[in-house]
Structure 1
Amino acid sequence: MLMEVYSMGRPRKLNAVKTGHHTKEELEQAQLVENGLFQFTSISVNTVPEDLPPQAQKEWLRIVPLLKELPISNLDYILVKRYCEIICINDIAYEKIKEQGMYIKDTDKINEYFKVYIDTLKALKNIATALGITMDARNRFLITN
């Protein structure tokens, strides 16, 4: 069992997201581990990182209270902070695309802000999956609890 904890394989999944056949013992053991996730110090809503831009601070205040329902702790602080920063960058890029269009005038070249916008969408998907805040992960988590 000790070897399993330190293996470099796939990241562990919450019980709600597991598929396939698992013995009762495996599920009970996994539930004990999962319950331990809620024992870490919860991420603080009151202390918004000062170095975040105003738009990202707004997102912090919006999302952190919602994350209280999931096993998100202070250990995930940087990940949540990056999520908020990327939301801010995404919003700015979207506004620039609305102003300037998807293509640079008089050329066939795609606006750099469009590339930034697409990159931020990919990054948001990755971070949201890592935090378990996608709709699918959230629904599966809530069903088991």
Structure 2
Amino acid sequence: MEKKGLLKKIKRGVWALTNDKRFSPYWLVPHLEPSHPCYISFISALHIYGIIEQIPQTITVATTAHSKKIVTPAGVFRLHQIAPSFFCGFDWYESRNFLIATPEKALVDCLYLASRKGKRYAAFPELNFPNHFKKRMTRTWALKIKDNRIQQSVLAKLKELL
């Protein structure tokens, strides 16, 4: 089936029908690190929710595993390690088979990562918050960050953005 172009090998033990119009690379996220949980977050989640219009070139994923880049025939995935104590605030996306951060947690995840790894996720194009976006919830998520320096950095950036 691979030779006929019906199936593509994504990684060892993971195959996908990438030519199927119903296929989504987001479906691969649970299979990227089978021994570690992961969920779509950061810029990718903000785009899915329509908060930013810019289409990300890579799918950004939060995990408790070490950070790394995974290149597959179905797309490029950037896994970012976050503290296990901060690994929360996600759910199944519209009953599909992948986990995604809530809109509020995705924004806080971006700022959390930016405070640890530089400015990569700190600069946003125009943000379009939907009516159901709970701005107070971003503060609640930020207060769950155990590292005080990172927490204060995230809270300050939230104050600027919201």
TM-score by length of 1: 0.27
Larger radius of gyration: 1
More strand by share: 2
RCO higher in structure (CA 8 A, sep ≥6): 1
TM-score by length of 2: 0.25
More helix by share: 1
